[in-house]
Amino acid sequence: MTPTIRRLSLSSLAPRQVRSLTTRHAVPNPSILADATAIVADVAARGDAALRHHGAIHGGQLANGTIAVNRQTIAESRSAVDPDLLEAMEHAIANVTAVHASQRPLDTVVTPGGGITIERVWTPLASVGAYVPGGRGLYPSSLIMGVVPARIAGVGRIVVATPARPDGTVDPVVLAAAALLDVDAVYAMGGAQAVGALAYGTESVEAVDKIVGPGGPWVTAAKLAVFGAAGIDLPAGPSEAAVLVDASADPAIVAADVMCQAEHGEESAVALIVVGDATADAVVEEIGRQLPTLERADTIGTALSDHGMVVVADDLQAATAFANAWAPEHLSVHTDDAGTVARDIPNAGSVFVGHWTPEAAGDYATGANHVLPTGGLARAYGPLCVEDFGSWRQIQTLTRQGLEALAPTITRMANAEGFTAHAHSVLIRLRTSA
């Protein structure tokens, strides 16, 4: 049961073909972007009525028609969850907390000249909405990744939006994670309509300053549509991974890593970037051997057939260059001296070095954040972090001495640009004796 995965020889591709392979968008379907924009506009205009209307069409709302999950239901969810799973979530929360605590921003003060003081001051956001995928899936890990750094940052109000299951209830495991982290509210809503409600507010949902968290193409499109009304972390769309391999790698381990992120959904993209045809053949053979044993074999097979590729390079330098150009969300490195190779690829959301570092470890337990840039945006964005939950401002203070020192520079540049009122605002101060 080996899926048909597109295979390419890197040496035979022209530069424009490589650019075509590595250029993509967080929302590749323009019709989804248009439809999601229309949904969030409807929620902005009609509030709860639109939220319920789209929830009835697309799913994700509670059976009783309410939007906020009862706080007693959240509190009681912990008793409905296997104690071993609760312990695992507590362990994950502890590690995520330890890693993100080191990211607390520090204010700075710089004095570039006598009488000139520039402060850079960081302030946590007043409110944040963490989107947690759900419905037919189960992602308490995403709730942890969104809420823990917000807690460390000192965000005033933290709410969670997650779609209900087809039976009209929110999974108790997700609610238990919310209870462990003492979030302020859980809203049973999903998709573009949930993002619209968080951004614009409704009768039942108070708007937030920023929306974070991963989601499918509809959520990603909606986040792009509301940007401006609310902040967003990054357009974290369908999961994707690159696996960089040379002949030193274990084909069985590589095959497992190739299939790992493809399990997320049929739209997930995976690139196996291999030095040499023989190694590529061995990994593809292992995929065919292991795939039938996996519970989500159909989903993985479809993802690999529709969005997977095997890119064969003549040498490690070419393979590394392609990985850097593709700028994956996840990058696994299975090569000689994998640590050095990993540092040669700056364009990746999260990098997993060597035989003993599966992507699953980062998804759940290492403490690193798994909300990562997709669609090639790892060229410009990094993982979700504490700094995403606040904002910086500059505070500038000058004495007369400081302004006198700067006056020639200010007035000459202002006059050159034709902004004489700028120059006047400086000179009028210096004419006074105060």
Among left, alpha and beta (phi > 0; psi -120 to 50; other), residue 398 is beta
Say if residue 65's pLDDT is above 90.
no
Contact 381, 373 (CB under 8 A): yes
Name the pTM for this structure: 0.92
Task: Kindly list the distances between the CA atom of residue 136 and the CA atoms of 69, 153, 165, 216, 399, in Å, as whole numbers in the listed order.
Answer: 18, 31, 6, 13, 62
409 pLDDT higher than 90: yes
CATH topology of domain 6-26+238-367: Rossmann fold (3.40.50)
264 among known catalytic residues: no
**Which pLDDT band holds residue 63 (cuts at 50, 70, 90)?**
confident
Condensed to tens digits (0 to 9), the pLDDT of residues 75-122 reads 999 999 999 999 999 999 999 999 999 999 999 999 998 999 999 999
pLDDT tens column, 239-263 = 899 999 999 999 999 999 999 989 9
Fold match flag (6-26+238-367 vs 30-105+121-236): yes
Using CB atoms within 10 A of its CB, is residue 8 exposed (0-12), middle (13-18) or buried (19+)? middle
Q: What is the spatial distance between Cα 191 and Cα 58, in angstroms, rounded to a whole number?
A: 8
CATH architecture, range 30-105+121-236: 3-Layer(aba) Sandwich (3.40)
Sketch the domain layout of the chain as residue ranges: 6-26+238-367, 30-105+121-236, 399-430
Whether the pLDDT of residue 73 is over 70: the answer is yes
Per-state percent for the chain, helix, strand, coil, to nearest 5: 50, 20, 35
Q: What is the pLDDT of residue 104?
A: 94
Residue type (1 letter), 414: A
Digit-coded pLDDT (tens) for 15-35: 999 999 998 877 778 899 999
pLDDT for residue 217:
87
- Pick the catalytic residue: 240, 267, 286, 329? 329
- Label residues 43-73 b or e (16+ Cβ within 10 Å = b): bbeebbebbbebbeebbbbbeeeebebeeeb
Res 434 pLDDT > 70: no
Percent of the chain whose predicted confidence (pLDDT) is above 70: 99
Among this protein's residues, is 203 annotated catalytic? no
How many residues would you count in the chain? Answer: 434
Kindly report the number of other CB atoms within 10 A of residue 386's CB atom.
24
pLDDT at 138 over 90: no
Q: Spot the catalytic one: 307, 330, 334, 370.
A: 330
- CA-nearest of 144, 129, 105, 151 to 232 is 129
